[in-house]
C-alpha cells in the first residue's frame, strides 16, 4: 500500500511538509534537524507533526548554532544517513557558510567520488512578508557561485513537493531555497504526478513578444506582469528556472532564440546577482538571435529595507513593464 499523500488542495507549506513526511516514511535514513523543527513544527510549520510520527531521533531540535547544525549533518551523511537541515531564515544560514563551502560542497570531489554528502539544506528566503533584516535576504548567488552545490528554488505547490523529494533522493548536496511569501498560496497537489527533474526549466506561459526569465518568489509577479502587458499589446512568455544549479541552458536559449527579447527578474540585488550570470549566458549563446539587449529587473543594491519600504525594493509589475517597454524601443 502506498504511503504517499493523496491528491488534494494544498498550500506550499503543506506540500513541503508532505514531501518530508513521505520521504521519511519511505526511507529510514532520512532525518530532519534544525532549530524548533520538533514539537513546534518549525517557525513556518513545515515540519509540523514529524516528531510525533517519527520520534525525536529522526526529527531533532537543535541548539541555535547553525554551523553546528550543518557540521552535525555532515557527520550524519558520512555515516550513511540523508539529513535534511532547516535553517530558520535566510540570513540565519550565514554562520554555517564555512561548513557549507569548505566541506559540504567539496567532500565528494575531495574523496574522488568515494564520499558523497546527500544533504538537503532547506532555507526559507526572500522578502514580501514584512520581515526585518536577517529575515528577508535573497542569498541565492552565494550558493550558486559555489561549485559542488545544487541550488533549487520552487515556485509552485507541485514543484515544492516534487523538487524536495528529488533533492532528498539526490546524492549531491542541495541548497533548497523556499520562497517564504509563497508558503500560503494554494493549488492542487498530486504527489504521484510527474515533475520535471532538478536542472530543468519550465515555460509557465507562452508568448510571442518577449520572455520573462525568473524563479522562486518572482514567478507570480511575472505572471501578473504578463497579464497586464496585454493592455500594451505585448504577449509575454514566462520561464520558470526552478533550478539555478545545474542551469538549464538548453531550454532558456531555445525560448530566447525563438523570441529575441528577454528580461531577467529576481528579488536579489542586481550587482553580481544570478541575473547577471543569466544575462551573460544568454548573450554569449544567443547573440545573433537577440533583437535587444537582455535586461534585468532586480532588487536594489542596498541592505534589505524596513518592512514599510520593502514594496519599493521588490520587483513589481510596473518595473517589469518598464523594462519590456525598453526592449520594444530598442528594436
The whole-number pLDDT of residue 1 equals: 36
Q: Copy the grid coordinates of residue 200.
A: 530543468
Average pLDDT over residues 168-183: 97
Q: What percent of the chain has pLDDT over 90?
A: 93
Which tens digit of pLDDT belongs to each residue from 102-122? 999 999 999 999 999 999 999
- The ranges of the chain annotated as CATH 3.40.50.970 are 8-189
The whole-number pLDDT of residue 330 equals: 46
**pTM to 2 decimal places:** 0.95
CB 145 within 8 A of CB 237: no
- The ranges of the chain annotated as CATH 3.40.50.920 are 202-325
The whole-number pLDDT of residue 8 equals: 87
Average pLDDT over residues 183-197: 91
- Of the residues 31, 103, 134, 135, which is catalytic? 135
Average of per-residue pLDDT values in the chain: 95
Which tens digit of pLDDT belongs to each residue from 59-81? 999 999 999 999 999 999 999 99
Q: How far apart (Å, rounded) are the C-alpha atoms in residues 177 and 159? A: 12
Q: What is the CATH number of domain 8-189?
A: 3.40.50.970
Q: What percent of the chain has pLDDT over 70?
A: 98
Q: How far apart (Å, rounded) are the C-alpha atoms in residues 129 and 267? A: 13
Thinking of the domain 202-325, which architecture would CATH place it in?
3-Layer(aba) Sandwich (3.40)
At residue 222, does pLDDT exceed 80? yes
Annotated active-site residue 135? The verdict is yes
Residue for grid cell 513589481: 316
Q: How far apart (Å, rounded) are the C-alpha atoms in residues 191 and 268? A: 31
The whole-number pLDDT of residue 4 equals: 62
Detail the DSSP E strand segments found in the chain: 8-11, 30-34, 59-61, 82-86, 120-125, 150-152, 174-179, 186-189, 202-205, 210-214, 236-240, 243-245, 262-269, 295-299
Q: Copy the grid coordinates of residue 194.
A: 510527474
CB 133 within 8 A of CB 304: yes
Which tens digit of pLDDT belongs to each residue from 12-61? 999 999 999 999 999 999 999 999 999 999 999 999 999 999 999 999 99
Residues sharing a CB contact under 8 Å with residue 102, sequence separation 6 or more, in sequence order: none
Q: Is 266 helix (H, G, I), strand (E, B) or coil?
A: strand
Amino acid at each position: 500500500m502506498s504511503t504517499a499523500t493523496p491528491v488534494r488542495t494544498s498550500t506550499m507549506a503543506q506540500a513541503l511538509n508532505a514531501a518530508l513526511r513521505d520521504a521519511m516514511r519511505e526511507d529510514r535514513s532520512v532525518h530532519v534537524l534544525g532549530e524548533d523543527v520538533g514539537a513546534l513544527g518549525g517557525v513556518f510549520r513545515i515540519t509540523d507533526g514529524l516528531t510525533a510520527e517519527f520520534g525525536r531521533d529522526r526529527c531533532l531540535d537543535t541548539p541555535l548554532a547553525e554551523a553546528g547544525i550543518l557540521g552535525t549533518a555532515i557527520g550524519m551523511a558520512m555515516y550513511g544517513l540523508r539529513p535534511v537541515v532547516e535553517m530558520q531564515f535566510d540570513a540565519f544560514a550565514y554562520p554555517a557558510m564555512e561548513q557549507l563551502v569548505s566541506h559540504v560542497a567539496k567532500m565528494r570531489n575531495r574523496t574522488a567520488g568515494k564520499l558523497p554528502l546527500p544533504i538537503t539544506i532547506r532555507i526559507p528566503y526572500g522578502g514580501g512578508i514584512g520581515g526585518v533584516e536577517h529575515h528577508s535576504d535573497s542569498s541565492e548567488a552565494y550558493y550558486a557561485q559555489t561549485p559542488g552545490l545544487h541550488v533549487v528554488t520552487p515556485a509552485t505547490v507541485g514543484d515544492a513537493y516534487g523538487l524536495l523529494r528529488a533533492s532528498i533522493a539526490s546524492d549531491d548536496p542541495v541548497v533548497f531555497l523556499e520562497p517564504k511569501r509563497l508558503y500560503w498560496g494554494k493549488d492542487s497537489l498530486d504527489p504521484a504526478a510527474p515533475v520535471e527533474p532538478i536542472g530543468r526549466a519550465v515555460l509557465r506561459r507562452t508568448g510571442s513578444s518577449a520572455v520573462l526569465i525568473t524563479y522562486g518568489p518572482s514567478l507570480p509577479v511575472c505572471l501578473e506582469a504578463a497579464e497586464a502587458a496585454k493592455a500594451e499589446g505585448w504577449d509575454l512568455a514566462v520561464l520558470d528556472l526552478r533550478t539555478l544549479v545545474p542551469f538549464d541552458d538548453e531550454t532558456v536559449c531555445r525560448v530566447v532564440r525563438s523570441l529575441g527579447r528577454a528580461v531577467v527578474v529576481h528579488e536579489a540585488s542586481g550587482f553580481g546577482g544570478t541575473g547577471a550570470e543569466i544575462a551573460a549566458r544568454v548573450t554569449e549563446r544567443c547573440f545573433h538571435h537577440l533583437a535587444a539587449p537582455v535586461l534585468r529587473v532586480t532588487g536594489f543594491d542596498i541592505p534589505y529595507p524596513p518592512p514599510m519600504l520593502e514594496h519599493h525594493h521588490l520587483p513589481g509589475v510596473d518595473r517589469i513593464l518598464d523594462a519590456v517597454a525598453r526592449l520594444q524601443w530598442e528594436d
